[in-house]
Chain A
Amino acid sequence: MAEPNVILNNPVEAGMTHEQDLIARVQRGQNELFYELVRPYERRVYAAALAILRNESDAEDVVQEAMLKALANLRQFRAEARFSTWLIQITVNEALMRRRRERTVVMEAIDDRRDEESEYAPRDFADWREIPSESLERKEVRQKLADALAMLDRKYREVFVLRDMEQLNIQETAEVLGISVASVKTRLLRARLMLRDLLAGGWNQGWFSRLPFEKGNKPW
């Protein structure tokens, strides 16, 4: 028969995941475990910051600041939220604050309003049934995909990254960005259609060998 103390001291037996156990221990003051706690999400928070800032150095800097804030505020984290979403929320807030300090925001906001008012219809109907995911092993393919993503306007890029790359659900994406669920759906549709148009042609003809955006013009 197991001793009661053993059961209580074992997080797995107590029904806690490894992540919940780490959270509890850091909340009790074992700060040195914090990196172990956030390491599984370090790539995702970076992608979120990069989607907003579009600058690798700024994105990395913002992630570091955001993780320090997360450490300082971990006692406020409530178990009903997903820890990954909470980290991404902090990172997005930090990145948005950083961007607000940049003068280009005003110009971007004007562009965003214009795009939201316009209709968007698919333009390329090339058949693209295969999913050559093994092609992601090639760095130049990943770079082409990243370039296509970077061409999206900010508000489409942010929603797409949070939903399709960070795997937040629609509701979480809306909460993190502070917009309505309806806006998330509209922007997500637009982002997916644009990326499909950007990539479909190149996909079937030598893998991005003649992507329209390589000529310097947006295809939409």
Chain B
Amino acid sequence: MVNRGDVNCEQVWQEVSNYLEGDIDPGLRAAMDVHFAACAHCKSVLDGMRNVIELYGDERMIEVPVGYGRRLERRLAQSIRAQSSRWSTWSAWLVPVTALALFAGGLRLANSLTFNPPLRSEHAQLGREIPPDMVVVVTSGARLFHAPGCGVIHNKDTERTLTAKEAIREGYAPCLRCMRKYLETATVGHSELGWEASAGLDAEEHDPRGGGE
């Protein structure tokens, strides 16, 4: 082991890589410079290591197989095509489904905007499937509309005839007695009517206060 300067050969070998990286403190660097000037072995290690770094750092040292770039490009293109094809399949379904959903939503919105009258009875229930053009009767001061001839119509002298659609618009709710079949089955005519009617309660007919119709 040779000591030249403040460092010996072994210390130089341990630090020679950091020396080339420029990653040592100035004092050690100066000591190694002195050592290299005097020690041929360590100088050959330094020169050889520098050559290794320069040779392997040359772009020409990275060799790729013939056709490598073309194959990579093709693989990426295939993947991108497959992705876009998957998206096309999705979008092919997505467009009509979305259109349908929007149409249905639009219809519902339109209906809700058109038919949401304030009910005359706070006890009214949702009713549906009442034919919109069905002839019904209402009387003044009442809260329900009835089928003609219903037994619980009061104030018959004020009786007025109109369609179920009109009655709903004016805030009347269907009589639970004469309109029961529409309120219980709820299977026919909803789309025809295009709205959700409100079903009144029998309670109105049997108002304990003796009011009602």
Contacts and interface: CB of A to CB of B under 8 A. Distances in A.
B204 to A, nearest CB: 62
A64 B75 contact: yes
In terms of DSSP, what is the predominant structure of the interface of chain B? helix
Interface size class of A (residues with CB under 8 A): 35 or more
B57 A164 contact: yes
B68 interface: yes
A128 B75 CA distance: 44
B57 A67 contact: no
Nearest to A187: B17
Interface in A159-210: 160, 164-165, 167, 170, 185, 188-189, 192-193, 195-196, 199-200, 203
A131 interface: yes
Task: Report the 9 A-B pairs with minimum CB-CB distance, sorted nearest first.
Answer: A189-B17, A196-B48, A128-B48, A125-B41, A47-B62, A43-B62, A31-B80, A195-B52, A136-B60
B64 A199 contact: no
Contacts of B184: none
Interface stretch (A79-87, A109-117, A142-150): A142-150
A68 B79 contact: yes
Contacts, number: 131
Interface string A5-44: 0000000000000000000000000011011000100111
Nearest to B17: A189
B61 A145 contact: yes
Contact of A46 (B14, B54, B62): B62
Interface in A62-105: 63-64, 67-68, 71
Contacts of B18: 185, 189
Contacts of B50: 131
Nearest to A36: B73
Please report whether the interface of chain A is mostly helix, strand, loop or mixed according to DSSP: helix
A3 B177 CA distance: 76
A68 B76 contact: yes
A142 B58 CA distance: 10
A74 B196 CA distance: 51
B17 A188 contact: yes
Contact of A71 (B10, B48, B79): B79
A67 B72 contact: yes
A42 to B, nearest CB: 6
Interface string B47-71: 1111111111111111111001101
Nearest to B10: A121
A126 interface: yes
Given A131-B55, A142-B60, A193 B75 contact: no
